[in-house]
Amino acid sequence: MITRRTLLKNLVGLGVGALLWQNVLLPEPAISSSTRTKNTNIKQHWKKSPQAKLSFVVVSDIHIARLNAVRNFSAVLNSNYNSKPDAMIVNGDLGDGLWRDYNTLNNELTVNKLEVNYPIHWTIGNHEFYGAFYNYGLWSPKTFPNRETDASAIDRFLRLANRDNVYGDTWINDYHFIFLGSEKSRMSDMSYTDAAFLSDAQLDWLRNALIDSKHPNQPIFVFLHQPIPYTTLGGFQPGYVLQWKKLDAILSQHPEVILFNGHIHYVLDQKNMTSKENFSIVNSSSLASPIDRNRKPILNSAPGLVVEVYKGKVVIKGRDFLKADWVPGAEITIDGIKSSNQAIKHS
């Protein structure tokens, strides 16, 4: 018997159905419970705590064109269907910025559109500018930038993100979410390499957005693909933001900020996944291509974060969505959001 999911995949393959260029809350599933078997094994899915005021999933570096990347992304969507988060954030490096990458993403979202009944928010990563390395769809760095521009790369991303800028914000369950992103790449200046370029306009906007918080004693969640320099229990993490000193100065005025980054792909572990100086920084690894501290690939793994917000604390857990299990040792609790000396506890 052909299932609804198989039928939708076949239709998508034939080009049937509109692409999901909208970053909107999709309708509640108008299907009976018999159309999909819900997991009953507690190891196979997590459930939002009844005491949590907010729960959301963070994944990064999904690199949708890589081997098994669609499988890993589908595993997250399947997990979310069972776990019912309030939102999901995909923190950059969606693919290589090609139309075919965005089409692959939208095809997968179309297949799951009746089940994705929560908003998905996207940030731009350095790989969204990598279309400049392709010539008529083939890898060709010798002919860089291959008629590509920063403006055209950003335009393709914004169609998916449904925003006017690479930066913006929203409120989810009365909590503030802020999305930042690079506005230029090495196409503008080769010295930029893969670093994020944040304009003065974006930084001014950020400064005002942070001040405009409705609830100053609540956490503010900020997302930027590239990390700024920071120190963890495991050592120093280099930064990849050209204007990192300005960004750090702005965020340091707000100890309630929790900044999520990706880019580095490192495995989730309590020694290296988080930092607390003037505000909190959390690494979200890579859904498609996680690596260990020796930069060796970790196979058959799709790590990301599950974040739950309670009164006075935020609990962040590493989750392997492919294995449908928690990442051992990758759990932290950020206490005392309203305090300038808030503490991070490792579980």
**DSSP codes joined into one string, 225-278:** SSPPPEEETTEEE---BTTHHHHHHHHTT-TTEEEEE-SS-BPP-TTTSEEESS
User: Rounded to an integer, what distance in angstroms lies between the CA atom of residue 208 and that of residue 9?
Assistant: 44
Which of 121, 129, 151 is closest to 222 using CA atoms?
121
- CA–CA gap between residue 7 and residue 331 (Å, rounded): 39
What is the pLDDT, as a whole number, of residue 234? 75
In whole angstroms, what is the distance from residue 223 CA to residue 58 CA? 10
Q: Does the pLDDT value for residue 265 go beyond 90? A: yes
Half-sphere exposure of 166 (CA within 13 A, CB side): 31
Q: What is the pLDDT of residue 273?
A: 85
Give the model's pLDDT for residue 272: 79
8: pLDDT strictly greater than 80:
no
More confident residue, 339 or 16: 339
Mean pLDDT for 112-137 is 95
Q: How does pLDDT run across 9-53, given as a tens digit for each residue? A: 444 443 333 333 333 333 222 222 223 434 434 456 788 889 999
Question: First CA to last CA across the chain, in angstroms?
Answer: 46
**Quick one: which of 164, 129, 134 has its CA closest to 150?**
129
Token pair for 224 = 């930027």
Q: Is the pLDDT assigned to residue 54 strictly greater than 50?
A: yes
What's the DSSP call for residue 86? Answer: S
Whole-angstrom distance, CA of residue 172 vs CA of residue 218:
12
Helices (H), the chain: 4-13, 69-83, 99-111, 150-161, 200-211, 244-251
* Separation of alpha carbons 207 and 254, rounded Å: 10
What single letter denotes the amino acid at residue 50?
Answer: P
With CA atoms as reference, report the closest residue to 242 among 179, 184, 155, 286.
Answer: 184
From CA 52, how far away is CA 316, in angstroms rounded?
12
Domain encompassing residue 251: 44-346
Report CA-CA distances (Å) from 200 to 149, 228, 319, 337. 21, 17, 36, 28
Does residue 25 sit within a domain? Answer: no
In a domain, 284, yes or no: yes
Mean pLDDT for the stretch of residues 184-204: 98
Query: Mean pLDDT, to the nearest integer, of 205-215?
Result: 88
State how far the alpha carbon of 274 is from the alpha carbons of 121, 135, 280, in Å.
22, 39, 7
At 13, give phi and psi (nearest 5°).
-60, -30
Residue 196 DSSP code:
B
Q: What is the pLDDT of residue 14?
A: 37
Question: In whole angstroms, what is the distance from residue 196 CA to residue 290 CA?
Answer: 21
What is the number of structural domains in the chain? 1
- Structural domain includes residue 14: no
Q: How many residues does the chain have?
A: 347
State percent of the chain over pLDDT 90.
73
For residues 252-259, average pLDDT: 95
In this prediction, residue 311 carries a pLDDT of: 92
Q: pLDDT: is 16 or 64 the higher one?
A: 64
Q: What is the mean pLDDT of the chain?
A: 86
Let me know if residue 38 belongs to a domain: no
Q: What is the mean pLDDT of residues 115-135?
A: 96
Supply the pLDDT for residue 236: 85
In a domain, 240, yes or no: yes
What pLDDT sits at residue 270? Answer: 75
Compute the average pLDDT of residues 73-78.
95
**CA 91/CA 295 separation, integer angstroms:** 20
pLDDT for the residue 345? 61
- Segment 68-87 mean pLDDT: 95
Among residues of the chain, what percentage have pLDDT more than 70?
Answer: 84
Which residues, including other chains, have CB under 8 Å from residue 329's CB and lie 6 or more apart? 269, 270
Determine the pLDDT at residue 279. Answer: 94
Instruction: Select the more confidently predicted residue: 303 or 345.
Output: 303
Residue 314: which H helix or E strand, with range? Answer: strand 313-320
Q: Domain of 293: which CATH number?
A: 3.60.21.10
**Is the pLDDT assigned to residue 339 strictly greater than 90?**
no
Q: Which amino acid would we find at residue 189?
A: D
Nearest to 256 by CA among 328, 340, 316, 324: 340
Does residue 105 carry a pLDDT above 60? yes
Per-residue pLDDT, 212: 84
Least confident of 50-54, 181-185, 332-336: 332-336
**Would you say residue 229 lies in a domain?**
yes
Is 77 a domain residue? Answer: yes
Number of H-type helices and E-type strands within the chain: 6, 17
pLDDT higher than 90, residue 216: no
Residue 334 domain-assigned? yes
Q: What is the pTM of this model?
A: 0.86
